[in-house]
Amino acid sequence: EYAGTSRSKWPVDPHGEAWDAYFWVDDADALYLEFKSKGVAIARDICDQPYGCRDFDVEDCNGYRLCFGHKTT
């Protein structure tokens, strides 16, 4: 699938679940609903995390995993 490409996260996360970027937003729930309504492929549904954030992941058209979230504490 990604033959001939190099992605720095792959050696440390062979399952492809590590983020390539984290975006801080004011309201992750609203953005999640907007993305879903526009057909964006959600890689991980929104949820509260033990590190004090509420976030979700998408995978962009180039295979990068992007996380969007806000602090819950």
pLDDT of residue 19: 79
The pLDDT assigned to 16 comes to 60
8-32: average pLDDT: 78
User: What CA–CA distances, in Å, run from 44 to 5, 12, 32, 64?
Assistant: 24, 19, 10, 13
pTM of the model: 0.78
pLDDT digits (tens, 9 = 90+) for 26-70: 999 999 999 999 999 899 999 999 999 999 999 888 888 899 999
Per-residue model confidence (pLDDT) at position 32: 98
